[in-house]
Amino acid sequence: MKHHPATAWLTEAAGAAQQQGAGNLLRVILIVMVLGSAFTAWFLLRGYKRKDD
């Protein structure tokens, strides 16, 4: 059975967290949160650039 590419990094991150503690997992979570926040801000603010003529 083929694994979905999106789940592969999750299992890899979970394996790394078990070997090296929670520090790396928290780092990954923080990076994903920052990138998600930036993407959300870009998505919401891009509508303000449009002019309604």
What integer pLDDT is reported at residue 24 of this predicted model?
Answer: 84
- Euclidean distance between CA atoms 13 and 6, whole angstroms: 12
Say if 5 falls within a structural domain: no
Asked if residue 25 lies in contact with residue 16, where contact means CB atoms within 8 angstroms, the answer is yes
Would the pTM of this model clear 0.85, i.e. be above it? no
Per the CB < 8 A criterion, the answer to whether 46 and 31 are in contact is no
Whether 7 is in a domain gets the answer no
> What is the total count of domains within the chain?
1
Q: Is the pLDDT reported for residue 10 higher than 70?
A: no
**32 vs 21 pLDDT, higher one:** 32
* Residue span of the structural domain in which 29 resides: 22-46
Q: Band of the pLDDT at 17, cuts 50, 70, 90?
A: low
